């Protein structure tokens, strides 16, 4: 075969076709003496769905929380589009708000506002941070609630909703800011399996619509079938990453295969 | 018994005026004091030392000094620096300060009782600090603090009786004046006591009931 | 300024005296009142609750006047000090009854069951098992209340007890330095409350160690 006929883009090293949308450069995080993240490098492009898996205490959640600065990293750099955040320089409050508005986050424990109705939960940030009118925000919130299948709960308080419903409301609340990136921190871990399924269904739909997502999860099925890429963490480092099917079925590291085995046998 | 009721009927209008004044002083002090208490609570919780320490000192002085001393400080003390207040305003300011010092601690306790996840949720939806406090943290904190704030308000109504010492014509002043002119101390003081109890006893029972209803774990109904 | 401070300090024994005596009265009378409040007999229980509520719903100054002028004026002669101690003592008893009741509720059920299983007599159960725990659990709340009582004892000055507040009033009227006098008086109260707080901490940690071992 004529070497010249090899398409150019297959010549190693593979250059990035699209510029990275999110890029983490040698991120470190320390809590006192404990190093929770060690030299984490990661990038993803727009529309990608990345699952982060790994044993508990491996730093998955911390990594997620570093991305939106809930935990400011000790060292390293985060780039999201044109935003460039270096841990070495203190962050301006305005930049922080800009970052937060572009990233939606869904917590393990939902963290809905218990004193507000479901509708207000979704509307609040639109009114206060996007400057929308109450009417406009409520109309948009209803659309979002419809999308997660909970329009009928708009007037209820979160306490009257099941865990699965609360988590779907939390997703609607995060989507209300029209984020470019959604972070999910073990979104189904606090739920009974069947309630977790309804949350996963919403997430799958979202992924299908092209939302960029990073999902810390113990749901191996979700990681394998919905995500494009799987990142495996252990002891604060990324020990393996690659296309989902490959990582989940033929992991390169023995450690990863042991972990997967342990999780699947549970 | 009839004689007693006749006396009470005779004194009641006079004591009623005092009762209304006691309520007014209490209400204004509480309004001013709780607002200030909220500011102090935020001040004591502030990260900057330049705000935190002065706020702490203001709170600790207000909690450490007897209410009686605060009242006399404002009424007998301030004139020595040529600032003379009427007994009404001295009472309001002193009791407001006392309220601020105590309620700041109550409110701070409420703020600390709000789960960390609520702060984080407010952060990640891009609320700035003021909005996060106003729409997310304080509504929940004040709900937690409500029974204690109401309980404290009942205490303050009782504490307004100390305004007797700065010649404010509230219930006790009037009862004491009637007592000293008629030498009928016992019946007039019983009437005064009943007027306090008529407000405070049902209010205390109400607060206790509210406290049970708002006990942790119980969520608001629709 | 030195003279002023000396005169204020002359009030300290009276303030401490009223506080300590009223607290002692309250600590002791709190027990029977608590027993009433927790009685198996409904009418006694209501009586106990009514007593506690009444004592707590009427301001101290009214109780003091009632005892000093009302009872003391007509029937028996009471000194201002005794009237103050009785009045504040009764109010304290109502508070302590509530403190004890809370402490009873905080003792784990297993303790009573264990005492029964060990075949202890009723007095043994109370004095050897319940009381020590009750005291330990009550101390922090009781100490907080004692500090409050120290400040509330200022009301005794309205009867003429020569305590710190009484002295502050006298001195401010004589010297026309009200601001300084009352500030100093406030500080004296603040300083007095420190040992109570420390004692409470020491006592509860000592008891904790002795009882939990």
What is A19-265's CATH superfamily?
A: P-loop containing nucleotide triphosphate hydrolases (3.40.50.300)
Pull the structure tokens for residue B38.
């909220």
pLDDT of amino acid C81: 94
pTM (2 d.p.): 0.85
Residue B188: closest CA among B2, B14, B11, B20? B11
Run means of pLDDT, 10 residues per run, chain C, 213 residues: 84 94 95 92 93 94 92 80 95 94 85 81 81 85 90 93 92 86 91 83 76 54
Which residues of chain B neighbour A114 with C-beta distances below 8 Å?
140, 219-220
- pLDDT by position in tens, chain A (length 266): 444 444 444 444 444 456 688 999 999 999 988 999 999 999 999 999 999 999 988 999 999 999 999 999 999 999 998 888 888 888 888 888 889 999 999 999 999 999 999 999 999 999 998 999 999 999 999 999 999 999 999 999 999 999 999 999 999 999 999 999 999 999 999 999 888 999 999 999 999 999 999 999 988 888 888 899 999 999 999 999 999 989 998 889 888 989 888 888 77
Bridge partners for A30 per DSSP: A35
CA separation, residue C61 to residues A58, A167, B166, B190, B196 (Å): 64, 56, 14, 12, 12
* Cα–Cα distance for residue pair C182/A187, rounded to 1 Å: 59
Pseudo-torsion of CA C192, C198, C202, C203, nearest 10°?
A: 40
Query: What is the domain partition of chain A in residue ranges?
Result: 19-265
Which residues of chain A neighbour B124 with C-beta distances below 8 Å?
68, 70, 100, 103-105, 174
Total length of chain B: 222
Locus of tokens 């996963």:
A200
Which residues of chain B neighbour A97 with C-beta distances below 8 Å?
126, 128
Q: Supply the range of the domain harboring residue C124.
A: 2-212
pLDDT of amino acid C140: 85
Name the domain count of chain C: 1
The CATH number that applies at residue C50 is 1.10.3720.10
* Cα–Cα distance for residue pair C101/A8, rounded to 1 Å: 84
Locus of tokens 């708009």:
A154
Residues 6+ apart with CB under 8 A from B16: none
Nearest residue, CB atoms, B125 vs list A93, A157, A173: A173
Domains of chain B: 2-213 (1.10.3720.10)
* Three-state DSSP class for residue B84: coil
Pull the structure tokens for residue A244.
């989902």
pLDDT digits (tens, 9 = 90+) for A130-157: 999 999 999 999 999 999 999 999 999 9
What DSSP string describes A116-136?
Answer: S-HHHHHHHHHHHTS---HHH
Q: How far is B188 from chain C (nearest CA, A)?
A: 9
Cβ contact, residue pair C66, B65, below 8 Å: no
Residues 6+ apart with CB under 8 A from A14: none
Pairing of strands A49-53, A229-234: parallel
- The answer to whether C177 faces chain B, any CB pair under 8 Å, is yes
pLDDT digits (tens, 9 = 90+) for A80-122: 988 888 888 888 888 888 899 999 999 999 999 999 999 999 9
Residue C209's H or E segment, with its range, is helix C178-212
| DSSP one-letter code for A20 | P
């Amino acid at each position: 075969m004529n070497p010249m006929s090899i398409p150019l883009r297959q010549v190693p090293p593979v250059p990035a076709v699209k510029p990275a949308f999110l890029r983490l450069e040698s991120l470190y995080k320390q809590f006192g003496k404990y190093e929770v993240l060690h030299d984490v490098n990661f990038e993803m492009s727009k529309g990608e769905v990345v699952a982060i898996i790994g044993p508990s205490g491996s730093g998955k959640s911390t990594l997620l929380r570093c991305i939106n600065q809930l935990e400011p990293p000790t060292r390293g750099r985060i780039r999201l589009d044109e935003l460039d955040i270096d841990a070495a320089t203190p962050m301006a409050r305005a930049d922080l708000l800009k970052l937060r508005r572009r990233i939606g986050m869904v917590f393990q424990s939902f963290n809905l506002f218990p004193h507000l109705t479901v509708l207000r939960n979704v509307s609040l940030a639109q009114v206060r941070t996007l400057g929308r009118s109450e009417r406009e925000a409520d109309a948009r919130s209803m659309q979002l609630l419809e999308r997660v299948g909970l329009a009928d709960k708009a007037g209820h308080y979160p306490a009257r909703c099941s865990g699965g419903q609360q988590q779907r409301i939390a997703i609607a609340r995060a989507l209300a800011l029209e984020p470019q990136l959604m972070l999910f921190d073990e979104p189904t871990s606090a739920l009974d399996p069947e309630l977790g399924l309804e949350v996963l269904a919403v997430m799958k739909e979202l992924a299908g619509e092209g939302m960029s997502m990073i999902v810390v999860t113990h749901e191996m099925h979700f990681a394998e079938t919905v995500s494009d890429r799987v990142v495996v963490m252990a002891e604060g480092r990324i020990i393996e990453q690659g296309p989902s099917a490959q990582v989940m079925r033929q992991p390169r590291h023995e450690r990863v295969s042991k972990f997967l085995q342990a999780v699947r046998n549970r | 018994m009839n004689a007693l009721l006749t006396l009470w009927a005779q004194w009641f209008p006079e004591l009623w005026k005092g009762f209304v004044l006691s309520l007014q002083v209490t209400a204004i002090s509480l309004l001013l004091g709780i607002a200030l208490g909220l500011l102090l609570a935020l001040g004591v919780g502030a990260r900057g030392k330049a705000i935190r320490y002065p706020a702490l000192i203001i709170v600790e002085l207000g909690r450490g000094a007897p209410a009686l001393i605060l009242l006399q400080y404002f009424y007998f003390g301030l004139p020595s620096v040529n600032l003379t207040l009427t007994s009404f305003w001295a009472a309001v300011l002193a009791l407001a300060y006392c309220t601020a010092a105590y309620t700041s601690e109550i409110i701070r306790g409420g703020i600390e009782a709000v789960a960390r996840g609520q702060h984080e949720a407010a952060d990640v939806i891009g609320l700035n600090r003021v909005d996060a406090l106003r729409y997310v943290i304080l509504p929940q904190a004040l709900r937690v603090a409500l029974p204690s704030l109401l309980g404290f308000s009942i205490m303050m109504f009782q504490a307004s009786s100390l305004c007797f010492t700065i010649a404010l014509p509230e219930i006790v002043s009037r009862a004491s004046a009637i007592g000293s002119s008629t030498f009928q101390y016992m019946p007039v003081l019983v009437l005064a006591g009943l007027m306090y109890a008529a407000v405070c006893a049902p209010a205390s029972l109400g607060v206790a009931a509210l406290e049970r209803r708002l006990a942790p774990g119980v969520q608001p109904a629709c | 300024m030195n003279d002023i401070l000396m005169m204020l300090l002359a009030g300290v024994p009276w303030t401490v005296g009223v506080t300590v005596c009223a607290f002692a009265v309250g600590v002791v009378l709190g027990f029977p009142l608590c027993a009433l409040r927790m009685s198996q007999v409904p009418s006694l229980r209501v009586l106990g609750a009514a007593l506690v509520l009444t004592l707590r719903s009427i301001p101290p100054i009214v109780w003091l006047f009632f005892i000093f002028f009302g009872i003391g004026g007509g029937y028996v002669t009471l000194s201002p000090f005794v009237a103050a101690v009785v009045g504040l003592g009764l109010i304290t008893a109502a508070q302590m009854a509530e403190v004890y009741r809370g402490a009873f509720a905080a003792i784990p059920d297993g303790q009573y069951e264990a005492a029964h299983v060990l075949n202890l007599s009723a007095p043994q159960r109370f004095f050897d098992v319940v009381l020590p725990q009750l005291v330990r659990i009550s101390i922090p709340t009781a100490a907080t209340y004692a500090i409050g009582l120290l400040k509330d004892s200022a009301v005794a000055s309205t009867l003429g007890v020569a305590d710190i507040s009484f002295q502050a009033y006298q001195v401010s009227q004589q010297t026309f330095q009200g601001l300084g006098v009352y500030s100093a008086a406030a500080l004296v109260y603040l300083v007095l409350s420190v040992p109570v707080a420390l004692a409470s901490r020491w006592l509860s940690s000592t008891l904790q160690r002795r009882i939990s071992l």
